[in-house]
Amino acid sequence: MDYQRFFEDAVDELRRERRYRTFAEIERDAARFPHAVWHRPEGARDIVIWCSNDYLGMGCHDDVVEAMCATARQAGAGAGGTRNISGNSHAVVELERELADLHGKEAGLVFTSGYISNQTGISTLARLIPDCLVLSDALNHNSMIEGVRQAGRDKQIFRHNDLAHLEELLKAAGGRPKLVVFESVYSMDGDVAPIGAICDLAERYGAMTYLDEVHAVGMYGARGGGIAERDGVMHRVDVIEGTLGKAFGVVGGYITGRASVIDAVRSYAPGFIFTTALPPAVAAAAAASVRHLKASGAERARQHAQVAKVKRALEAAGLPQLATSTHIVPVMVGDATACKAASDLLLEEHGIYIQPINYPTVPRGTERLRITPGPFHDDALVAQLARALVDVWSRLGLPFESRAEAAE
């Protein structure tokens, strides 16, 4: 039996479907972020990263780096095991307190990644609720979809941000227990959920709410609590999930909520119980980042300003950006081969790193470049980006928007 052939065929299928992914070898430069070094066969080259999820550059912040280094020198590099056996470090406990405070909740629970916090959190919650019906937004992240699937409960998918459809499903469910799972900022289209209105429906029909704020924590609200904080509805959401790997610039995920809910997940979730804990140094760095962004709005203000400048520059150039009210700037291509070619040209000719976004991350025909401007993308870099995109669009024969379309 040629087992190797099975795997070769699987990869060949991805190539035929134009979904095979390649990765550039990138070395971030903490002193010059968003500048980095691209290690290519021809030699190293300086580039600028325009697609990082380290939205505020906190992964390079002096306080965050020093917290990690100081804690590693004191406590070592690793966690020592699962928290149930040997890894319940003081640094992780302190981080959970910071996160609970950030979201105005009684308790928090930290996981090794945002993917695991969703997958494990949703599946455990739904399993612990007898006869639970899970109602999930159609554009929820794969981690949420997997959490719903692994719960093994009945599920229904409501059309994206469609309140009428959600109400129809809630009403039809009657008095059975219900869990509504949705995101605040949807990372590919950059649109925002009507959190308050979803909470209205959940309260009216006796449902519990679970909100993924991974692309919003640190970014929105007076203290970086996310869209729910910005909109004044944080207290109405039962469980808020977030990540430490995007705006907070480190790694890890978490959920926050009532103490009884968090304790139940802690006690029953395999993805928590059987996984090595975050190292104390990582937890300390994350806590430093959370504390800083609770107190400082400077990074958010600067980032929002640069996002607006990028959007204006792309609009002026007639580039086909998808209009969003958030920090995510999708530039639409609509073809997998052209999207990869645009990404390659930007990197090779202009030293600009923007990964192509293709199926299955987005539907076929909606392939795009996803730009995430940060506070350290200065005006000169914004102008350089716009010029480079115009050059690439022209060379590849990609369509520009007319001025009338851009103004609509």
Residue 50 burial (10 A CB sphere; 0-12, 13-18, 19+) = buried
Q: Are 211 and 237 in contact (CB under 8 A)?
A: yes
Q: What is the C-alpha separation between 326 and 195, in angstroms, rounded?
A: 15
Torsion of the alpha carbons at 279, 284, 290 and 294, rounded to the nearest 10? 160
Residue in 389, 381, 383 with CA at minimum distance from that of residue 342: 389
Token pair belonging to 304: 């929002």
Token pair belonging to 392: 């690439």
One-letter amino acid at 31 equals A
340 is catalytic: no
Q: Are 67 and 80 in contact (CB under 8 A)?
A: no
Active-site entry in 105, 178, 246, 340: 246
Q: What is the C-alpha separation between 301 and 63, in angstroms, rounded?
A: 19
Task: Please say whether the dihedral angle defined by the alpha carbons of residues 147, 149, 151 and 154, taken in this order, is positive or negative.
Answer: positive
Q: What is the C-alpha separation between 119 and 381, in angstroms, rounded?
A: 37
Residue 102 CB neighbours (<10 A): 28
Q: Which residues are CB-contacts of 363 (< 8 A; sequence separation ≥ 6)? A: none
Which contacts qualify for 136-141: CB closer than 8 Å, 24 or more apart? 136/180, 136/181, 136/182, 137/161, 137/181, 137/182, 137/183, 137/193, 139/183, 139/186, 139/188, 139/189, 140/181, 140/182, 140/183, 140/212, 141/183, 141/187, 141/212, 141/214
What is the C-alpha end-to-end distance of the chain, expressed in Å?
59
Q: What is the C-alpha separation between 231 and 103, in angstroms, rounded?
A: 13
Q: What is the C-alpha separation between 75 and 96, in angstroms, rounded?
A: 18
Give the three-state DSSP class for 112: coil
Q: Which residues are CB-contacts of 30 (< 8 A; sequence separation ≥ 6)? A: 59, 60, 65
Catalytic residues: 246
